Amino acid sequence: MQPVYLIIGVAGSGKSWVCRQLAQKFNYVAHDRCWEHPQVKPEVPAHDSGDARWGPKGSVSTHLREIIKAARGDRPVITEVPFGETKLRDELKAAGVKTIPLFVDEKEDVITARYLHREGKPPSDGVLTRARNMRAQALKWRAYAGTSDGVLARLRRFDTPRNSRGRG
């Protein structure tokens, strides 16, 4: 089973950009592309995942399943994690998958500029509060924290799956 690099950060921090830069080197599982759209009655919740509020109405997140499937491949996996990182890490560990978290820790003005450019409005106070806590969370997890450029540079140093190191 290949290791999974969890690129953790808030909206506008550069998680997806990092993942796209490395899509040829790693199996990239894009968080926002992992949804199924079953035919369900509107009054019946499709799932109780932490992703519920983010996906299309009535959809089911397949992020965990797609990551595990990709980890069975021939290259390490990379995926962005905008929220729910503890739950995802724990579920992957329970499935026997080694995770290597990297936290994207950008300054508030960088996040605000990127978010404004993409969404046409400033990020919420919640996004900025969570951004202020990225480095502390990385320290708690004993994980690397750096700017999106720093995370990218760190990941480019891994040549092959056997060179992958980190905490599970």
What is the per-residue pLDDT across 22-53, written as a single tens digit (0 to 9) for each?
A: 988 897 887 654 445 455 444 444 444 444 44
Task: For the chain, give every domain's residue range.
Answer: 4-163
For residue 98, which of 167, 150, 161 has the smallest C-alpha distance?
A: 167
pTM beyond cutoff 0.75: yes
Q: Using an 8 Å Cβ cutoff, are 85 and 4 in contact?
A: no
Per-residue pLDDT, 60: 61
What is the per-residue pLDDT across 85-138, written as a single tens digit (0 to 9) for each?
A: 898 899 899 999 999 999 999 999 999 999 999 999 999 999 999 999 999 999
Per-residue pLDDT, 63: 77
Give the gyration radius of the chain's Cα atoms. 16
11 against 158, higher pLDDT: 11
For residue 85, which of 97, 98, 103, 110 has the smallest C-alpha distance?
A: 103
CATH (one of 3.90.120.10, 3.40.50.300, 3.40.718.10, 3.30.980.10) for 4-163:
3.40.50.300
Does the structure show a pLDDT above 90 at 57?
Answer: no
